[in-house]
Amino acid sequence: MNKITVKGGNRLYGTVQISGMKNAALPIVFASIVTGETCIIENIPLVDDVLKSIEIIREMGGSAEFIEPTTVKIDTKNFVAGSSPDDLACKIRGSMYLLGAELARSGETVLKQPGGCNIGKRPMDIHMKAFTALGADMDEGDDYIRGKVRDKLRGANIYFDFPSVGATINAIIAAVTAEGTTVIENAAREPHIVDVANFFNTCGANVTGAGTNTIKIHGVEKLHGCTYAIIPDMIEAGTYMTAVAATGGSVTIEGIIPKHMESVSQKLIDMGACVEEGDEWITVTSDGHLRGIKIKTMPYPGFPTDMQQQFGALLCLAEGEGEIYESIFEDRLRYTAELGKMGAQITVSDRTATFHGVKKLTGASVRALDLRAGAALVIAGLCAEGKTEVSGADYIYRGYYDFVPTLRRLGADISEDKYATHIYGD
Ligand code: UD1
């Protein structure tokens, strides 16, 4: 089991270059299947989940080669729908985008239930509803999801009960080459949804309204290949912003879109950190003395659930009381028990965690239970007295490239023991 060891107490200084966004790269890699042509995708984050998605394309008959360190050339001319490798597909959440891509490309899909971090129930009913509206017969069993287009995919009006990120993207993927117009109401508005729409439009699709809660897709007969660069990862950026706020110091995060960071920046300012921003950078400066605040996770542009756990680490040492209400996933507060082993005072009731700020955390052996929980425990370790060992670090590698070397460059006393085991999820 991979393990990260941190000795707390060092402040962080320097700059960090942010990678492409994992949650945009995953759907765009699978969306390239719809084109059946060659797509050159730049700014690919070299994180385990995305590398797995590329491996899935290869195992399904496509070709995918890195022509630059972070640029992959994908050709899906020979892609065989319905042949997804169970062992890989069920381990990453992003494999859910094969459903939309296969329906669009060949009218048929079969997929082992996508995996995912254990953060509560992850139903697929909203995805199913969208595919059904577009003209597919869907059958969701415990192990497999199967779908077959009745005649052809046809544009439809789709209303989502909840703005699911995955279902919004899957509906776009299935609708881009459907006959007629699709309107998705109460769509998710996350930046990666805009990125998927921009990718498709670069391939000749006609998608408008992405980034608002009404997305219109005028189906086109055929897409062509393209060259496209993935947007920067707002969660990776937010994680380093949180780390420096916690330890104290001054770190500039480069290669980002500051607008995507607004909810995170505002919460850091509310806690007492200084946040300055330019066109493509943000500098966070902190003396490490923060105050407790209230946070409620919400769909974008609200505070992201994927930043909740990192802020949990921050609230442990903040003065006074802090509170996190997790509104998106029903079971994403289990990491607080691990923080408790380090001396944090946290009480959890249903979806609310209340943090009673303590003067110090003490290093301990703790376990990452999912990707962002792993990042949160490392942040706590950076501020704790003594040595913290975070096991289950495989989770962290799924979503952060070069996490430990980056933190070491910023001044952290941190090391890792990497073995060949891997956990996948999200
Ligand atoms: C994606 C991200 C994940 C992030 C989440 C919310 C990927 C690979 N994962 O997950 O990192 O935390 O967005 O920003 O991009 N729901 C249903 N039925 C459905 C679909 C979702 O009830 O058919 C519920 C979920 O259980 C959850 C909520 O909707 O409570 C949000 O889920 P969703 O936005 O779909 O998240 P994912 O796309 O799975």
pTM for the structure as a whole? 0.96
Q: Write down the H helix ranges in 120-190.
A: 125-133, 165-175
What are the pLDDT digits (tens) for 311-334? Answer: 999 999 999 999 999 999 989 999
Q: Check if 316 is active-site.
A: no
Contact 357, 320 (CB under 8 A): yes
- Rounded to whole angstroms, how far apart are CA atoms 200 and 216? 13
Higher pLDDT, 421 or 170: 170
- Residues forming a β-bridge with 138: 147
Reported confidence tier of residue 425, pLDDT bands at 50, 70, 90: very low
How many other C-beta atoms can be found within 10 angstroms of the C-beta atom of residue 55?
A: 14
Cβ partners under 8 Å of residue 6, min gap 6: 363, 378, 381, 382, 384, 387, 388, 390, 412, 413, 414
How far apart are the CA of 121 and the centre of ligand 1, in A? 10
CA of 165 to the centre of ligand 1 (A): 6
Q: Work out the average pLDDT over 212-226.
A: 98
Per the residue annotation, which of 39, 90, 117, 383 is the catalytic one? Answer: 117
pLDDT of residue 91: 86
Residue 420 pLDDT exceeds 70? no
- Looking from the CA of residue 305, the nearest atom of ligand 1 is 12
**The pLDDT of residue 1 is above 90:** no
Residue 24's pLDDT is what?
A: 98
Q: State which ligand 1 atom lies nearest to the alpha carbon of 49.
A: 8
Nearest to 163 by CA among 359, 26, 300, 259: 300
147 C-alpha vs ligand 1 centroid, how far in Å? 20
Residue 121 pLDDT grade (very low, low, confident, very high; cuts 50, 70, 90) = confident
Cα separation, 5 vs 177, in Å, equals: 49
Reported as a pLDDT band with limits 50, 70 and 90, residue 27 is very high
Q: Residue 419 has what pLDDT?
A: 66
Residues near ligand 1 (Cβ within 6 A): 23, 26, 93-94, 121-127, 162, 164-167, 305-306, 328-329, 426
Ligand 1 atom at minimal distance to the Cα of residue 96 = 8
The Cα 411–Cα 250 span in angstroms is 11
Report CA dihedral (371, 282, 325, 289) to the nearest 10 degrees.
100
Indicate the Cα dihedral angle 13, 15, 19, 20, nearest 10°: 120
Q: Using the atom order of ligand 1, give the atom closest to the CA of residue 121.
A: 26
To test the pocket of ligand 1, the residue of 29, 122, 184, 424 to mutate (highest count of ligand atoms within 8 Å of its CB) is 122
pLDDT, tens digit (0-9, with 9 covering 90-100), for 227-246: 999 999 999 999 999 999 99
Residue 196, classed as helix, strand or coil, is: helix
Pairing label, strands 214-218, 226-229:
unpaired
Q: In which region does residue 192 sit, left (phi positive, over 0), alpha (psi from -120 to 50) or beta (all else)?
A: alpha
Residue to substitute in 23, 91, 140, 165 for testing ligand 1 pocket (most ligand atoms within 8 angstroms of CB): 165
Closest C-alpha to ligand 1, atom 33: 164
Listing DSSP states for 197-237 in one string gives HHHHHHTT-EEE-BTBSEEEEE--S----EEEEPPB-HHHH
Q: What is the pLDDT of residues 30-76, one digit of tens each?
A: 999 999 999 999 999 999 999 999 999 999 999 999 999 999 999 99
Q: Residue 115's pLDDT is what?
A: 75
| Alpha-carbon gap, residue 23 to 166, rounded angstroms | 10
Which residue's CA is minimally distant from atom 4 of ligand 1?
A: 306
183 alpha carbon – ligand 1 mean position (Å): 20
Does 118 have pLDDT greater than 90?
A: no
360: tokens are: 């110090």
- Per-residue pLDDT, averaged over 374-381, amounts to 98
| Atom 35 in ligand 1: residue holding the nearest Cα | 164
DSSP secondary structure letter of residue 142: S
Residue that the structure tokens 């066109």 belong to: 279
